[in-house]
Structure 1
Amino acid sequence: MTKLNAHDRRAHHLALLVAATFFMEYLDTTVVATALPQMATSFHVGPNDLSFGMAAYMLALAVFIPVSGWIADRFGARTVFGGAIGVFTIASILCGLSNGVETFTGARLLQGIGGAMMVPVGRMIVVRNTDKSRLMQAISTITWPAIFAPVVGPPLGGFITDVASWRWIFLLNVPFGIAAIVCVIMLVKNERDPAHRGLDVVGFVLSGASLICLMYGTELASRESTGLAWPLALMAAGLLVGVVSFRHARHHAHPLIDYALLKVPTFSVTVVSGTLSRIGINAVPYLMPLMFQIGFGLSAFNSGLLLLVSAIGNFGMKALTTPIMQRFGFRPTCLISVGGAGIATLACGWMDPGVLLIWTLVVVFVYGAMRSLLFSTLATLAYVDIEKPRMGAASTLWSAAQQMTIGMGIAFGALALRGATWFHNGHGGPAHPHTVVEFRWAFVVCGILTLLSLPGYLRMARNAGHAVTRGTDAAK
């Protein structure tokens, strides 16, 4: 094993610190859903009454992720990253102590502001302080929380809720948050942009409005109790405002979101083709537990055990991701992982209670492994050709796209299932519980969407990111 110099050792410690904070944020996002029934009982309301409290977190992300890079450049990376962890931790305490829908919604809104600053600024700190020769290892380290947390979160949330109380889901963040702040003070330099660019207020308003409409629209679309007209109208409005935001940025000297980064081929493919891939792939964690419980009739616990096989695939692939990228390069790795994830998603539709258990285990494992490989590859590819001064802007745009596709993946899965039910149920006949056949066609649609992103990766240069995969420092 090569001995690390002082600079590389510090970069490695930074990656571990950022990964730990990411895991805290991503895990908190995913565990809450399982605690909703108990929280509703505590607040003396129905579970649906908590929906706005859940949406408040997402909407805060939509507004503040685009401005996070500017704030970090203006006030310093250490100040903003440490402050974001502090805000997230304080908000976690308020969530755990809340006794009503209003106080919980306010606390989740504050928590979303902390999360919006924490994730993109943390990623920016890592990519700015890591040489290109070690970028793959660093990105692999900070990517695993986003891959692992959505899988382990629901069963963990259920366990905490059953053995203790839903309040501990939030209160357990406190010691981790305090430890992280101490590490930030010790490790992170307070780097800032000496140019002191002014805030693009119009861009801030436009990007926030666009992301709010898109993310809230997709969240509404995922609810079976909601009609489709209002969610689709919101998403259409979000796209329209997004076009206006794009046109504004093209004519602004220092836009809040630098869309000019899309002219960099390797960055563009991660945002454009990567968005299509992630929507299809992110629909699976929504559909799979529903199929196991509703279609197969399994208990929540047994369903969680099957989902843990996906987590094993995620973790197992994590150790192989860097060697695979170094051996084959970015283009073949993207093609293999997208193709594998698409085929595994299609195969999910042919899982059945009557088939051998080993078939289900293999399909779930392969899906987890290919998902891990693709997400880690895209997260690295996004930065291979970005100059250090533009890392902050790249992190902002990448984080916004990544966050958006999480909600859109869930919404697409829900819409695919609703469409399959509509066709299977005689084009709008009486409602009935979802059947295995309906889940099958929902998985087929999601698998096809994933495979439709393949042409974008095929157009990549064969030597894309060559300097990074061969271990040379392209920054020198």
Structure 2
Amino acid sequence: MNSTPTHQALQPEFRLLVLLVSIGFFMQGLDTTIVNTAIPAMARSLGEDPLQMHSVVVAYVLSVAACIPLSGWLADRFGVRNTYFSAIIIFTLASLGCGMANSLNELLFYRVIQGIGGALLLPVGRLAMLKVIPRTQFLSAMSLMSLAGLMGPLIGPTLGGWMVEVASWHWIFLINIPMGLLGVLITFKAMPNVTEPSVQRFDFWGFILLVVAMVGLSLGIENFASPHLPLWWSLSLIFAGIAACTIYAFHAHTHANALFRSKLFKNKIYAIGIVGNFFARLGGNAMPFLIPLMLQVAFGFEPFITGLLMIPTVLGSLASKPIIRQIIQRFGYRKVLLVNTFLVGACICSFALSTAETPTWLRALHFFIFGILNSLQFVSMNTLTLKDLPQQDASSGNSFLSMIMMVSMSIGVALAGTLVNLFTAYYGADQMVSAFHTTLILLGCINLITAAIFWQIPKDVAV
């Protein structure tokens, strides 16, 4: 008899569960990207300025970030199946609400609800697989599920652009309904309701502090250039966000049941990885929002063409996956992150050289290179951040990293939208291309801060 291999193929009885989790992952991945190419059309339909529409992206991403800390506790307390079922119902009904919305405020309300459902889909689905599928088959299950996660961002921008042209922007949300119904039907057949026998009391006050911190910083930056709100309002929100961060840092140190204990940050590599992740993602995560907006609003491209042009970015990300491990093993985390951080920043800045007349092949190559560099950055940062965490801190550390990733995306999009509005006011509405170009240069320069953070990585850190 041969000994059991470390990694086995997925057995048939677990395939339906992986399909179910993949549906949730696909819906979340699709919804994060499909909106980007539809923003100008949504603005026209709702009678809004397309440069003031970044709130549609921020509302969703921010509510996902805010509810990530809830996901594990809810799954342990009420069971993975009940929590996942509720998440799909919330997400699907909110998608219907978004599709029926007649005003920006109505759309934003449903986007927040949609984000609450989206926040629970992936963490709870992954937790269900971890609890149900044997460890020997877990790698196979995660690989299959990851394909669904990659498909969402791959087709999202193009599908969004196509739907806007052949139907209306409402369909980018209504497309979630049949997938949500399929998920609802499969949930009770495929997912057992695993619960934990003893669950700690939820850190309610810590959760409130984190939400105030995230909402204050994101909305403060987002409303900075708003013509409808006074400057003191934005500054007050930012101050409230910073104050909540400071109070939470004290809370995490003193409260025995805190969502994220301060001892996590005694691990130097984890602390560097978290701070580096936050700053590195401000520019990188703003690009999927900013580039489609520039192509349509400043260059006058059609939504479908814009969506097609975004595909090389995802293809670049996919192409980099097989080589990332070898690059890190060859050069080490410190060198890879220092060099690549500068390259990502330079690549973001170089988008300022593009115009409406840039040849399509050159634009596609540019996006492809950005996809490779961005993927190398994110994978390197994530693996560095989590690699030295002890087992007892792995779940908490991973949740905090997921939350920081979404907060950084929210603040990055808010910052990009605010900068475009400030520079449009400065240069004049007829010089919108210059406003986008200056914004891109500033977002690229943020990576200089990130390089200074990664400089702190010890030279002898193990791969």
- How far has the Cα of 1:329 moved from its partner? 4.5
Same amino acid, percent of matched pairs: 30
- How far has the Cα of 1:224 moved from its partner? 7.1
Residue of structure 2 equivalent to 1:455: 452
Measure, in 2, the Cα distance between the counterparts of 1:12 and 1:330: 35
- How far has the Cα of 1:277 moved from its partner? 0.4
Measure, in 2, the Cα distance between the counterparts of 1:227 and 1:148: 42
Measure, in 2, the Cα distance between the counterparts of 1:435 and 1:58: 26
Give the TM-score normalised by structure 2.
0.81
- How far has the Cα of 1:340 moved from its partner? 2.4
| Amino acid in structure 2 at the alignment position of 1:240 | A
Range with greater deviation from structure 2 (371-380 or 250-259): 371-380
- The alignment partner of 2:223 has SS state of helix
Residue of structure 1 equivalent to 2:436: 439
- How far has the Cα of 1:244 moved from its partner? 0.8
Residue of structure 2 equivalent to 1:428: none
Residue of structure 1 equivalent to 2:375: 372
Question: What's the CA shift string for 1:350-383, capped at 9, x where partnerless?
Answer: 2245565554333222111111222233333343
Judge conservation of contact 2:338–2:454 (CA < 8 Å) in 1.
yes
Measure, in 2, the Cα distance between the counterparts of 1:408 and 1:305: 26
Judge conservation of contact 1:57–1:112 (CA < 8 Å) in 2.
yes
Measure, in 2, the Cα distance between the counterparts of 1:211 and 1:256: 15
| Amino acid in structure 2 at the alignment position of 1:446 | L
Give the TM-score normalised by structure 1.
0.79
- How far has the Cα of 1:421 moved from its partner? 4.9
Distance 1:184 1:351, change over 3 A: same
Judge conservation of contact 1:346–1:444 (CA < 8 Å) in 2.
yes
Distance 1:171 1:287, change over 3 A: closer
- How far has the Cα of 1:206 moved from its partner? 1.4
Measure, in 1, the Cα distance between the counterparts of 2:447 and 2:170: 37
Measure, in 1, the Cα distance between the counterparts of 2:70 and 2:265: 18
- How far has the Cα of 1:33 moved from its partner? 5.6
1:345 pairs, out of 340, 345, 348, with 348
Unaligned runs of at least 5 residues, structure 1: 426-430, 467-476
| Amino acid in structure 1 at the alignment position of 2:315 | I
1:248 pairs, out of 245, 251, 262, with 251
Measure, in 2, the Cα distance between the counterparts of 1:250 and 1:265: 16
Matches within 5 A, 1:48-67: 57-58=60-61, 60-67=63-70
The CA RMSD over aligned residues, in Å, is: 4.1
| Amino acid in structure 2 at the alignment position of 1:46 | G
Matches within 5 A, 1:2-401: 4-5=7-8, 18=21, 20-32=23-35, 35=38, 46-47=47-48, 57-58=60-61, 60-96=63-99, 107-124=110-127, 149=152, 152-181=155-184, 190-221=193-224, 228-353=231-356, 357-401=360-404
| Amino acid in structure 2 at the alignment position of 1:177 | G
- How far has the Cα of 1:116 moved from its partner? 2.1
1:402 pairs, out of 400, 405, 426, with 405
Measure, in 1, the Cα distance between the counterparts of 2:134 and 2:429: 56
- How far has the Cα of 1:253 moved from its partner? 0.5
Unaligned runs of at least 5 residues, structure 2: none
| Amino acid in structure 1 at the alignment position of 2:47 | G
Residue of structure 2 equivalent to 1:470: none
Judge conservation of contact 1:65–1:396 (CA < 8 Å) in 2.
yes
Judge conservation of contact 2:61–2:407 (CA < 8 Å) in 1.
no
| Amino acid in structure 2 at the alignment position of 1:252 | H
Question: What's the CA shift string for 1:414-464, capped at 9, x where partnerless?
Answer: 3444555566x4xxxxx3333444433322221111132123323324564
Judge conservation of contact 1:139–1:380 (CA < 8 Å) in 2.
no
Distance 1:149 1:159, change over 3 A: same
- How far has the Cα of 1:37 moved from its partner? 7.1
Measure, in 1, the Cα distance between the counterparts of 2:372 and 2:429: 34
- How far has the Cα of 1:240 moved from its partner? 1.2
| Amino acid in structure 1 at the alignment position of 2:446 | L
Measure, in 1, the Cα distance between the counterparts of 2:372 and 2:114: 31
Distance 1:432 1:55, change over 3 A: closer
Measure, in 2, the Cα distance between the counterparts of 1:187 and 1:234: 44
- The alignment partner of 1:434 has SS state of helix
